[in-house]
Amino acid sequence: MKTLHLTSLGCAKNLVDSELMLGALELSGWRAVADPAEAELLLVNTCGFIRPAVEEAVDEILRLAELKQADPAKKLVVTGCLVQRYGKDLQAELHEVDLFVGIDDQQRLPELISRLPEGKNGLILHQPSCALISSAMPRRLSTPFFRSWMKITEGCDNRCTYCMIPTIRGNLRSRPAADLVTEARALEQAGVKELCLIAQDLTAYGSDFSSSLAAMLRLLLKETSLPWMRLLYLYPASVTDELLELMAAQPRLVPYLDIPLQHVSSRVLQRMNRRYGRQELEQLICRIRRLIPGCALRTTMMVGFPGETEHDVEELLDCLQRWQLDHVGVFPYEDEEGAPAADFQPKVPDEVKQERFERVMALQAEISQTRLQRYVGSEVEVLVEGVSEETELLLEGRTRFQAPEIDGCVYINEGEASPGDIVKVRIAEAHIYDLVGGIIG
């Protein structure tokens, strides 16, 4: 069999694309190996969303190019967001790469690789991207068997002034609900217990064909028995009461919402071209807490956006203090070439951005620990991930309030369980981001 090594960079949405490429390549007789030195084909699925991701991708390409230099029979193929964003520049600069493939042609990889001419530094790119994945595509899951990502849309119709995603991934395309049901059923049959629904903006689902996220979720709930379904990345202005009421009524939709707010200052949000202000956010938090008491909330905040003042940061800290959100990711703003905000003035100096970043992080660490304290003494459902990465003496799992790969976890110090089991755990301790407890019964 022909051997390949795949490096998947960036987010879970990109990982789904990687799994689909692997599925297509395996069907054509390729076998994935962990060691790139043993592979005939070196494939990199890149992220190109922000500057650090671009740097990471280029570093990885150069690392693999060294292996190819030592063994010129190897082929090096690069795909993903970086190619979609900078394809021609990459082709001009990185002669070590045999082929650059844009997002829309990833499913053609087996055919493209089979006729890869010696030493050709080719580029296959369609812009704007308009492809859409489907359940008919073979997929090799790379997550543990009991959880999976399901990408429900591609692209984005929002035009946030700091973001290049619409340029890279194109406008919104939603997958048909029936196709999502087919995929969710197949995943359930494969043993998946937790299905994480992902998109650039989950709430936009169906707006391109007069449907809605709530309508699609109703169908998924009816047609599958998946015990945990998690919604990640909701646009704040589009979180409807209909959706919140459905979540409140359906325990299989875990009470967890990931809503990137980006900021709270109406002035900053307007410059970001977000379609809401501080007042709408106050109302949103109230609505969620009223309709789904105990719902865990995750968000991301950006500090140092051009024109952000000390007053804006005070407003942000004040809201975080009052809202007591469970999980907050904080990012210092960076100019992105081609994004409107790159031309906005005045810029916030790097050291000020860093200082603001640290203040928000420090406050959230205190809040997170206080939030987790409320679980001490209670019994919670935990999906067991397996033996802890910290020590073999503990198991590790997650509650319905902790998303995979981003939030904290539960360390289980009593009882036995296998990966994929959903067990009852009595929580005994709360740390800054993690919980500790023992299995009951």
Residues at the interface with ligand SF4 (CB under 6 A): 156, 158-160, 163, 165-166, 200-201, 235
Q: What is the rounded end-to-end Cα distance, in angstroms, of the chain?
A: 48
Q: Are 81 and 168 in contact (CB under 8 A)?
A: yes
In DSSP terms, 141 is beta-bridged to: none
Q: How far is CA 431 from the centre of its chain?
A: 25
Nearest distance from C-beta of residue 3 to ligand SF4, angstroms: 35
Query: Nearer to ligand SF4 by C-beta: 280 or 381?
Result: 280
Nearest distance from C-beta of residue 155 to ligand SF4, angstroms: 9
Nearest distance from C-beta of residue 162 to ligand SF4, angstroms: 7
Nearest distance from C-beta of residue 205 to ligand SF4, angstroms: 13
For CA atoms 30, 31, 33, 39, the dihedral sign is negative
Query: Nearer to ligand SF4 by C-beta: 165 or 231?
Result: 165
Nearest distance from C-beta of residue 129 to ligand SF4, angstroms: 13
**Token pair belonging to 257:** 């919402």
Closest CA to 328 of 359, 287, 297, 358: 297
Residue-wise DSSP of 249-306: H-TTEEEEEE---B---HHHHHHTT-S--HHHHHHHHHHHHHHSTT-EEEEEEEE--T
Query: Nearer to ligand SF4 by C-beta: 329 or 415?
Result: 329
Query: Nearer to ligand SF4 by C-beta: 50 or 384?
Result: 50
Query: Nearer to ligand SF4 by C-beta: 169 or 327?
Result: 169
Query: Nearer to ligand SF4 by C-beta: 250 or 273?
Result: 273
Nearest distance from C-beta of residue 199 to ligand SF4, angstroms: 9
Q: What share of the chain is helix, strand, coil (3-state, %, to 5)?
A: 40, 25, 40
